Amino acid sequence: MKAMVLPAPGPVETSPLQLVDLPVPEPAPGEVLIRVEVCGVCRTDLHIVEGELPPHRQNVVPGHEVIGRVERLSAEATRFQVGDRVGAAWLYASCAVCPYCRRDDENLCDAPRFTGYDVNGGYAEYIVAPEAFIYPIPAGVSSREAAPFMCAGIIGYRALRRSDIQKGEPIGLYGFGAAAHIVLQIARHWGCEVYVCTRGERHQELARQMGATWVGSSHARPPERLRSAILFAPAGELVPVALEALDKGGTLALAGIYMTPIPALDYQRHLYYERNLRSVTASTRRDGQALLQLAAEVPLRTRTQEFPLEAANEALQRLKQDQINGAAVLRVS
């Protein structure tokens, strides 16, 4: 099978991913073999490829926003049938035995494995995945549109929950990429005014087109005090900016898996009056199920730009340069 492999991390400008031919993987007990149709290109992939996240596996195949069809079942796999359309996300599997898994916080698992990081991911024609950790994809949404749901959508939904959003109250989004353009739709569905702070005129224009109440630059102050805010950009310098825009008792959720250093915070300006600062760590299967239910209910629509599998380096380069409006998706088969 064709696959884009990372022999060693490096700047995406050097095109570190290499197109190779690998054997089709065999599903272990409880796993299914998936023929990949499309795979979203996530900013986490960029952090893996460039080494900002320490390598977990040599010659890994990145990609964790996978949509495809079940090709083959292992002996113990009974949840799906051959031909079913399914999605695989960042959380490949949790240990099920640590204290966090036992209390239903599998996103905090002591020994998790992640798709495209610990195991080969969706920048390939086939992947294997545990049937317990993949999702049935609802009818009525194309595979290309569904791919960003598998990480951008799921992590965006979890970030919304972590921001303590209340229906009808104002929320700020810092950065406007794949996750934020999904979150904006959910927040508007809940009757919230959405204030978007982002760099780049193209991203600002997309936010306006999608119904943002107000749009400004990354460091701009929204005209309304925010009940909730989410920082999607991996820019630590924006943490005090976003905190200062919160109302009393407001909450800022940090949605990234990686972030540049956060400057010193001034207690009175940034944290006093019970302002809250929360991180977001991975997601649970409950988050994925809830997001897909919302996707059908709203309904959610994603803006995507398609690339062939062989152009994965180019897609990552354009993501790094903020040249993707919405989400990048690799067409695999």
The verdict on 314 and 174 lying in the same domain is: no
The verdict on 92 and 70 lying in the same domain is: yes
Instruction: Please provide the DSSP assignment of 73-118 as one string.
Output: E-TT--SS-TT-EEEE-SEEE--S-SHHHHTT-GGG-SS-EEBTTT
> How far is Cα 255 from Cα 259, in angstroms, rounded to an integer?
9
What pLDDT sits at residue 68? 98
Q: Output the CA torsion sign for 320, 243, 256, 177.
A: negative
> How far is Cα 91 from Cα 107, in angstroms, rounded to an integer?
8
The verdict on 18 and 112 lying in the same domain is: yes
Nearest to 190 by CA among 221, 168, 214: 168
What pLDDT sits at residue 168? 97
How many domains in the chain?
2
Nearest to 153 by CA among 234, 64, 227: 64
The answer to whether 100 and 82 are in contact (CB under 8 A) is no
Higher pLDDT, 62 or 333: 62
Q: What is the pLDDT of residues 164-222, one digit of tens each?
A: 999 999 999 999 999 999 999 999 999 999 999 999 899 999 999 999 999 999 999 99
The verdict on 158 and 271 lying in the same domain is: yes
- Please list, in sequence order, all residues whose beta carbon lies within 8 angstroms of the beta carbon of residue 226, skipping any fewer than 6 positions away: 170, 171, 172, 195, 245, 246, 247, 250
The verdict on 205 and 296 lying in the same domain is: no
Nearest to 122 by CA among 69, 177, 62: 62
Q: What is the pLDDT of residues 251-307, one digit of tens each?
A: 999 999 999 999 999 999 999 999 999 999 999 999 999 999 999 999 999 999 999
The verdict on 207 and 226 lying in the same domain is: yes
Nearest to 48 by CA among 17, 92, 94: 17
Q: What is the pLDDT of residues 13-34, one digit of tens each?
A: 999 999 999 999 999 999 999 9
Q: Which residues pair with 253 in a beta bridge?
A: 230, 278
| Domain final residue, candidates 260, 279, 298 | 279
The verdict on 193 and 122 lying in the same domain is: no
Q: Tell me, what CATH number does 287's domain have?
A: 3.90.180.10
| Domain final residue, candidates 253, 279, 305 | 279
The verdict on 75 and 171 lying in the same domain is: no
The verdict on 272 and 185 lying in the same domain is: yes
Q: Which residues pair with 91 in a beta bridge?
A: 114
The token duo for 157 is 């939904």
The verdict on 119 and 191 lying in the same domain is: no
Q: What is the pLDDT of residues 99-143, one digit of tens each?
A: 999 999 999 999 999 999 999 999 999 999 999 999 999 998 999
The verdict on 223 and 106 lying in the same domain is: no
Q: What is the pTM of this model?
A: 0.94
Q: Tell me, what CATH number does 189's domain have?
A: 3.40.50.720
Could you tell me the residue range of the domain that residue 243 belongs to?
154-279
Q: Dihedral of the CA atoms 22, 24, 27, 31 (nearest 10)?
A: 90
The verdict on 7 and 145 lying in the same domain is: yes
| Domain final residue, candidates 248, 263, 279 | 279
> How far is Cα 283 from Cα 91, in angstroms, rounded to an integer?
7
